[in-house]
Structure formats: structure tokens, C-alpha cells
Amino acid sequence: MSKARYRSAEWFAREGKYGFLPRSWTKSQGFSSDLLDGRPIIGICNTWSELTSCNRHLRDLAEHVKRGVLMAGGLPLEFPVTSLGEPLMRPTTMMFRNLVSMDVEETIRANPIDGVVLLAGCDKTTPALLMGAASCDIPTIMVSGGPMLNGRFRGRKLGSGTDVFRLDEEYRTGQLDRADLDAAEAAMSRSAGSCMTMGTASTMASIVEAMGMALPMNGTIPAVDSRRAVLAQKSGTRIVEMVQAGITMSQILTRESFENAVRVTGAIGGSTNAVVHLLALAGRLGVEFALDDWDRLGRDIPCLVDLKPAGRFLMEEFFEAGGVPVVMNRIADKLQLNARTVDGRTIGEIIAGAVCYDDDVIRPLERPLTHDGGLMILRGNLAPGGAVLKPAAASPALLQHRGRALVFKDADDLRARIDDPDLDVDADTVLVLQNAGPRGYPGMPEVGSMALPKKLLQQGVTDMVRISDARMSGTAFGTVVLHVTPESAIGGPLALVQTGDIIVLDAAARRVDVELDAAELARRRAELVLRSPHYERGYGRLFVDHVQQADRGVDFDFLVGHSGTPPSKVSF
């Protein structure tokens, strides 16, 4: 490909001052003329940050990407974007996913970038980077940071997130003292990398691989394993080849790749967060993909990966057993095998020779962890726009349930009352949380897996039906109905539920209803007073004014559809 065909030629191949200035200032970094003479410019989009501990090793990983780019004849230029760290950011990283996507999109569009390598790790960094790059539709490849090493505490394996919930319950009920809890904290997160459970980070890294946007084994190689660095180097080489061949993101992320993602999510017991992220990504690309596709495509998919929170093992074991290619090989008859990948081969070609090295970790089809691994989409008078339930994390006995509602007006109300010994609650009660959706919190936080009342934990209760317009951490577990749409903050039916109402969950029929007739719902709606927005200025105001509901991926309305990288005016 001649240098004139590269997008960066608009900056570096021009005559006169319009080429002089970009070349001169770039040479100030020590680059020789031949590095700017017709080579493809590869952006390395990095979410490294000491505020995002999951991503703290990405600066080193970028060096391996650069090596691969240089080996293939490209020029790598690294750039930062806002990083999203689940443990520290408030009110929730989900509120800032769209902001980061805008950061990525505008940085790519405004600069001489011919192809981009996305370096992501912690939960929302993966969809944010994909969404931003999708809006530009240039050659793109992702390198995930990888999961951290298994946590180990006194002979017990600890899974990030999942065991936090269990340790917290043990502490709240007096089974662990403060010193034990402190020791467990130090033992759980013992290396760089994201959660080593099948949380959102590992789910999204695996989905990226399954959709063909990353090289094989991207989803599972541990963060500190030298093979992660090798994958990064190979990705740097491959992105140059993709630029030379003109392979853009939209050629990889087709309807077929989204179908594969849904089915793989079910087979790995993936996070419910994948629902909103893939819906938003499809919206950016203009791919026909809707909420009900999650149920229809995932309905007959067994969960094969015996991994926390649904199972027993952690990401190290998943990698050693063979990773995502083995899972896809075992459900190959359900997949679109001709889907393209950044690797250059089809999905079918990549997974054809996959070998499983541990059938206890990646189970055979005749011995699944659960027969229903696919995420369920529920509807009913409580969720006319849809709601999500993860059967692999639920208690089978609660998937058909009728119980009295106990309503919490918001997350603060929940925290204030959940451990009250006088709380009027029993094991059959349905916990309902309002005002935790995209606009209501705002940002749709991971508070949907509500803590169980202390008095019930002490009685041995381990699960209850919980319903909200919030999200749930991918590391969480339980019979939890999430993403109720429309949300309560904009007057959805969830806002009309009162303590004492009877709620019916019928997972088999894909229903969630409150036993109130239309007249009573209309009466309550007429009396409903909506809360004022949380923000009056800045990004917060932009968010509440333009965020779409969960069934549309919680993206901004003005970002739907990609605009590519049209020529822009010079600045001097």
C-alpha cells in the first residue's frame, strides 16, 4: 500500500508548511525521517493508571505492542485516555463509560492514526474503548490486560469479588474477626490484572476473543504470564498487517460475531453486564442486535465453565484447561463459524484443533455446570421494556417464586435498613430496590445483588429474590433480576411497587409481574412524584439528559451510529 493511501499521509506526506510542522514536531521525540516516510501510524490507546489497579501493568504491556509494530514496519505512538477503575471510582464507572468512549473516538479522529491497538483491563475500559473505536471504524485490535493470579488464604482459594461477598457475610455474622478479614484482603489481590473470577472484566476479555477482535487466548492468559507479553507483541505486528490490508472494525464485528458473543457468554457463565455493553457496541456500528436476541440466541446454551461465581475454579485453571477456543469448539454447532477475526482466520479455523486439558474446569456437553447458561430476558407488567436474570448464578428453587415485596427507595435506604433486627422480612420476601438505574442513581451502579438481611443470614438463608433497575457485578451471585426497564426514576412500573405488594417471578415463562391490576397501577402513577436530577451542570448533566435505557445499552442518544474518520480541516 502506498503511503498516500494511509490516513496519516494527510499529516506527514504533505508539501509545504502543512507537512513541515507535523513532521518537525514529531521528530522532536527522536524519530528519524524514515519513520515518518510512508509507514502506517499505529495508535496504542492505553488505560494505564495507578487509580485503576487492574490496569497498572499496561504501560509495560504497551512496550511489547510497540516492538511488534516496529517489527512489522509501523510507527507506534502511545496515547492515554481516561481510565475506569471499579474499586475506586464513584458513583460508578458505568457513568463514565460513555465519556471514555468519546475520549477514544475524538482522539483517534483528530490525530494521524491509521490503526489502533486498544489496551484494556478493568470492567468498563473494554467496552468504552471498543465503542469509541467503533465510531471511527479504522483497523483495530484489542489486547486485554489479563486476570490476576488466584487469591490464596489459609489453604482456601479466593476469587475477587465473589469471595468478597462471602467474606463480608462471614464477618457480618461473626464467623470472621477483623484481623482475619484484613489478612484475607492482602491475600486476595496479589498481582497485577483484573478479577480472576468470571466477572465483567474476564467476561468482556473472553467475548472480545470470541467476537474475533483479539488474538486467540486473549481472554484467559494471566496478566503476569510472559505469554501475555508475547500476545501483545504479536498484536502489534498484526495491526500493521490489518492496516495494509484495509481490514476495519466493522468487517469483524458483524451480526454473526454478536451472535457468537451471546452464545459464548452463556457457555462461560458470563456477566450480565455484557448485555448493556454489547447492545451499546452494536448501536455504534449499526448492527441489528436487540435485547431479546440475548434470550433467543442463548436459550439452549449450557454453562460449561466451572468458574466462580457460578462454579468452583478461577481464571488460571480456565487458561490451563484450554481457554475460550475449547469452549467454542464444544458448542461449535451453535456458532457462526465463518465469522472473520483479526487473526486473519475464521472462528471455525481457529477453534478446530482446540484441545481440553481439564474436563472438570471446561466441562463436556453431557456434563454441564448448568443446562441453562444463557442469560434470560424477562418481561411483564413490572418490566415491559425487559429485565435480565443470570440462571447460572441463581438458586433453581427460586426461579419460580411468589413473595411479598420489601421496597427500598434507593441504595442509601437499603444500606440504612438491611441489618435492622426489626426489619419485617423472611426468606420468601422479594427485595425491591428503586432509583438505581441509568438516571436514577445516576449511572446504574452494581448494587442489584443486594446484601441479604443480617437476621436472615444468621438463620442460614443464602439467597433471596431481588429485583432492581440496577446492575450486578459479574462476580456476584444469587437470584437477582436486573436492568428493569423503564427504570423507576423516569416513572417505570418499578417506581409504583410498595412494600406488601405480591411479586411473581416465573423464569420459565420469562415473566416478572406485580399482582396489581391496570387501574391500581394507573392510580399510583397519577400520584407519583419523580425526583429532581442529581446534576445541574457538567458531564453529570449531559449524562442524565442523554442516556438511554438499559434495553438500548445505556449509551448516549447522540452517539448511536458511527461517523468514521472524515477528513478534517487543518489547524494552521
Q: What percent of the chain has pLDDT over 90?
A: 86
Each residue of 132-145: pLDDT tens digit? Answer: 999 999 999 999 99
Shortest CA distance to 328 belongs to which of 361, 362, 295, 299? 362
Question: Quick check: 247 and 238 in contact, CB under 8 A?
Answer: no
| Average pLDDT value for residue range 457-475 | 95
Report pLDDT for 571.
Answer: 66
Give whole-number Cα distances, 333 to 9, 126, 185, 260, 523, in Å: 45, 28, 43, 11, 51
Q: Which residue has the cell 420469562?
A: 510
| Average pLDDT value for residue range 350-354 | 96
Each residue of 73-90: pLDDT tens digit? Answer: 999 999 999 999 999 999
Strands 140-144 and 151-153: unpaired
DSSP string, 387-422: EEE-GGGS-GGGSEEEEEEEEESSHHHHHHHTT-TT
In this predicted structure, the answer to whether residue 572 has a pLDDT above a threshold of 70 is no
Q: pLDDT confidence of 168, banded at 50, 70, 90? A: confident
Using DSSP's 3-state secondary structure scheme, residue 189 falls into: coil
Torsion angle of the four alpha carbons 208, 210, 212, 218, in this order, in degrees rounded to the nearest 10:
60
Torsion angle of the four alpha carbons 15, 17, 22, 23, in this order, in degrees rounded to the nearest 10:
60
Of 28 and 167, the one with more pLDDT: 28
Q: Where in the chain is the domain with CATH 3.50.30.80?
A: 376-531
| Average pLDDT value for residue range 397-403 | 98
Taking each helix axis from N to C terminus, what angle separates 125-136 and 94-110, rounded to the nearest 10 degrees? 40
Q: pLDDT confidence of 4, banded at 50, 70, 90? A: low
Report pLDDT for 1.
Answer: 41
Contacts of 542 (CB under 8 A, 6+ apart): 556
Q: What is the mean pLDDT of the chain?
A: 95
Cα separation, 67 vs 156, in Å, equals: 39
Shortest CA distance to 80 belongs to which of 45, 29, 124? 45
Report pLDDT for 362.
Answer: 98
In this predicted structure, the answer to whether residue 172 has a pLDDT above a threshold of 90 is no
Q: Where in the chain is the domain with CATH 3.40.50.2300?
A: 39-149+191-351
Cα separation, 283 vs 554, in Å, equals: 10
528 by Cβ neighbours in 10 Å (0-12 / 13-18 / 19+) ranks as: exposed
Of 351 and 160, the one with more pLDDT: 351
Q: Which of 184-193, 220-229, 541-550 is least confident?
A: 184-193
The sign of the dihedral angle between the CA atoms of 569, 570, 571, 572 is negative
Contacts of 325 (CB under 8 A, 6+ apart): 216, 217, 350, 351, 354
In this predicted structure, the answer to whether residue 501 has a pLDDT above a threshold of 50 is yes
Q: Which residue has the cell 509501523?
A: 74
Q: What SS3 string covers 333-394?
A: HHCCCCCECCCCCEHHHHHCCCCCCCCCCECCCCCCCECCCCCEEEECCCCCCEEEECHHHC
Question: Could you give phi then psi for residue 297, rounded to 5 degrees?
Answer: -80, -25
| Average pLDDT value for residue range 159-164 | 84
Strands 151-153 and 156-158: antiparallel
The domain 376-531 having CATH identifier 3.50.30.80: the answer here is yes
C-alpha cell of residue 175: 464467623
Report pLDDT for 185.
Answer: 85
Question: Quick check: 528 and 495 in contact, CB under 8 A?
Answer: yes
C-alpha cell of residue 357: 486439558
Cα separation, 360 vs 75, in Å, equals: 45
In this predicted structure, the answer to whether residue 186 has a pLDDT above a threshold of 90 is no
Q: Does the pTM exceed 0.85?
A: yes
Contacts of 373 (CB under 8 A, 6+ apart): 266, 267, 268, 269, 298, 301, 302, 303, 304, 391, 392
Q: pLDDT confidence of 463, banded at 50, 70, 90? A: very high
Report pLDDT for 563.
Answer: 72
Report pLDDT for 566.
Answer: 74
Each residue of 30-70: pLDDT tens digit? Answer: 999 889 888 999 999 999 999 999 999 999 999 999 999 99
Taking each helix axis from N to C terminus, what angle separates 94-110 and 538-546, rounded to the nearest 10 degrees? 100
Question: Quick check: 409 and 383 in contact, CB under 8 A?
Answer: no
In the CATH scheme, what is the code of domain 39-149+191-351? 3.40.50.2300
Each residue of 108-120: pLDDT tens digit? Answer: 999 999 999 999 9
Q: What percent of the chain has pLDDT over 70?
A: 98
